[in-house]
Structure 1
Amino acid sequence: MVRRRGDARPLGRAAGWARELARLVVPVACAGCGLPDVRCCPACAAPLAGVPRRVEDAAPRLDRLDGVEPLPVWALAPYAGEVRELVVGWKDRGRVDLDRLLVPAVRRAAGAVAGPVAAAARGAPVLVVPAPSTAAARRARGREHVVVLAGAVAQGLRDAGVPAHVVRALGRRGHSRDQVGLGARARGRNLATGVVVHRRASAEVASGAVCLLVDDVVTTGATLASAERALEAAQAEVVAALVVAATPPPGRPATPVEAATPSVYPGHREGLA
C-alpha cells in the first residue's frame, strides 16, 4: 500500500504499539503519586469517586454576556495535585491503562447528573459531543481520548434511562493549536472561530438536537464556549457539559466548589439546577 503524503495514521498506530510494549517491560506506578506496583492508589483515585460539582462560575469564557446564564458544567474533581498528574499521565504520557479508572468514574458521574440533563432535554434523546482535539494532538496520542470519555458519558446516561449516543460532531479549523500552556486571552483567541461542526454531522445536530458536551479539563471555558457557539450556529441546543476536572480559580484552594442550590435558569438552561 502506498501511504499518502501527510498521512500519519501508521505513525499513530506505531506510537500506540510502543506504549503497549513499554507497559510490558516497565514497572507500573501510580500515575498520581508514583507509588509502585499500582495503576492508581486509593488515595489518588478517591477524588474521582465523589459527586460531580458545578464549576461554570470559575470559567470566565463561559460568560455569554447576553443575559443567558453560563453553560452548566459539572466536574468530578479539581485539576490540581494528584488529579492533575493522573489526567496528564492518561492523555499525554501514554497511560491508556487509566481508562480503567476514568471510564467508570465518568460513567458514574453521568448517571449522577442524568436527572437535570433529562429535564433540560424534555424527553428528547441526548447527543453526547466530545470536544475536538487538534490533528497534531491526535497524532501524538494515537487516539482521540475525549471520545473515550464521551462513550462513558453516553453509557452512564443510558444506565439512568436517558436515551443518549455519541456524535463526533466537532472539529478544529485552520491553525488553532492545542490549548495546553496558553493563558486565558490566548485560549480565547485560539478558539474564537476554531471549532466547527463537521459537514457529515450537520444534519444530526440541526433542528434543535439536544447536546451534552464532554471534555477532559475545563480551565477558562474557551473550548466549551467555542463548541457551544458552533453547535448553536448549527441549530442544536447545548444544555450542559461534563468534564473530569476543573482548574481552580487563582487564589482559591483546590477543593470542589459547592453544588449549585436548586433553582430554575432562564431560557435553554431550564431544569439544570
Structure 2
Amino acid sequence: MPTSLPRVAGLLQELVLPVDCTGCGLAGPALCAECRLRLRPQVSRRTVAGLRVASALDYAGVVQPVVVAFKNEGRTGLAGPLAVALRAAVAAALDEVDGDGLLLVPMARTRRSAVERGYDPVRLLLRRARLPHADLLRLVRRPRDQVRLGREERIANLERVMAARPAAAGARVLLVDDVVTTGATLTEAARAVAAAGGRVVGAATLASTPRR
C-alpha cells in the first residue's frame, strides 16, 4: 500500500524539517522533556452505559494537541509515549477483571481512513505496546463525522453502525479506543459484541475528555 500524504508529511517534519514541540510549541524536539512528563499515565475511571472504562490521560492541555498530531497529522514518532500510556490503561482495566482468555478489541475502522492516514492509530499503539489484539468489529455503514455532534446526536449517529464477526461468539472482550468523549462509540461496540454472543467486560482508552 502506498504511503499516505499525512504520513509522508509527518515523517518529513520529524526527520528533515525544523520542528517545535507538539505539546507546547516551543522550539526544539518534537516532544520536549516537560511535555513528555505530562504524558505519563495517570489512570482515571468512569462508567459508560454500565461499562467500566479506564483511561490513561485527560484529554486536555498538552495531551490534546499531541493526540491530534498523532492521529491526524501523520506524527507517528509520538507513538512511543502514547503507547506507554495506553498500556497503563489496559493494565488498569485488566486489574478489575479476570484477564484469562480475554481479547483486546479495537474499534471498527473504515478502509478509507486507514488508507488516507497510512496507519490506524489505535492498532499502531497496541503494536508499539506489544499488546495483541483481535479485529472482531466491522462497520456495516459509515457514520457522519462526530466532531461537532452533541451527546444525543452521537448516540443516534452510531446506532447499529457496527457488527461483530462470528469469532466474537462466546468471547470475553476488553474494548480499546483512543479517546472516550460521550462513550457512544464504546456503547455501540459493546452492543455489537453482545449481539454476536460475546461479552464485554470493560474498556481501556488512551484518553478521556473532561466530564461536565
State the TM-score, normalizing by the size of structure 1.
0.70
Is it true that 1:116 corresponds to 2:79 in the alignment? no
Give the distance between the partners of 2:129 and 2:198, measured in 1 at CA: 19
Q: Deviation at 1:90?
A: 0.7
Moved more, 96-105 or 173-182: 173-182
Structure 1 counterpart of 2:119, one-letter code: R
Give the distance between the partners of 1:190 and 1:172, measured in 2 at CA: 13
Identity, in percent, stands at 37
Q: Deviation at 1:15?
A: 4.6
Give the distance between the partners of 1:22 and 1:50, measured in 2 at CA: 26
Is it true that 1:78 corresponds to 2:64 in the alignment? no
Unaligned runs of 5+ in 1: 1-8, 57-61, 64-69, 156-164, 251-273
- Alignment match, 1:206: 169
Unaligned runs of 5+ in 2: none
Is it true that 1:195 corresponds to 2:158 in the alignment? no
Native 8 Å contact 1:137 1:178 kept in 2 = no
Q: Deviation at 1:41?
A: 2.3
- Alignment match, 1:33: 24
- Alignment match, 2:105: 129
Give the distance between the partners of 2:146 and 2:111, measured in 1 at CA: 13
- CA offsets, 1:40-90, max 9 Å, x none? 22332334323311022xxxxx32xxxxxx100011121112111111111
> Aligned residue pairs: how many?
212
**Aligned partner (choices 170, 181, 198) of residue 219 of structure 1:** 181
Native 8 Å contact 2:143 2:158 kept in 1 = yes
Q: Deviation at 1:171?
A: 1.7
- Alignment match, 1:230: 192
Q: Deviation at 1:184?
A: 1.3
Flag the 1:220–1:187 CA change in 2: closer, same or farther, 3 A. same
Flag the 1:100–1:52 CA change in 2: closer, same or farther, 3 A. same
2:18 is paired with a residue whose SS is coil
Flag the 1:197–1:226 CA change in 2: closer, same or farther, 3 A. same
If you compute each CA radius of gyration, which structure gives the higher value, 1 or 2?
A: 1
Q: Deviation at 1:14?
A: 5.3
Q: Deviation at 1:27?
A: 1.6
Q: Deviation at 1:18?
A: 4.3
Flag the 1:135–1:178 CA change in 2: closer, same or farther, 3 A. farther
**Aligned partner (choices 242, 255, 258) of residue 204 of structure 2:** 242
- CA offsets, 1:128-178, max 9 Å, x none? 0001233443233221111123345663xxxxxxxxx31011122223133
- Alignment match, 2:153: 186
Native 8 Å contact 2:21 2:30 kept in 1 = yes
Flag the 1:154–1:128 CA change in 2: closer, same or farther, 3 A. farther
Flag the 1:35–1:248 CA change in 2: closer, same or farther, 3 A. same
1:77 is paired with a residue whose SS is strand
- Alignment match, 2:133: 166
Structure 2 counterpart of 1:28, one-letter code: V
Q: Cα RMSD between the aligned structures?
A: 2.1
Higher helix share: 1
- Alignment match, 1:6: none
Native 8 Å contact 1:126 1:211 kept in 2 = yes
Give the distance between the partners of 2:194 and 2:128, measured in 1 at CA: 24
Give the distance between the partners of 2:191 and 2:15, measured in 1 at CA: 44
Q: Deviation at 1:221?
A: 0.3
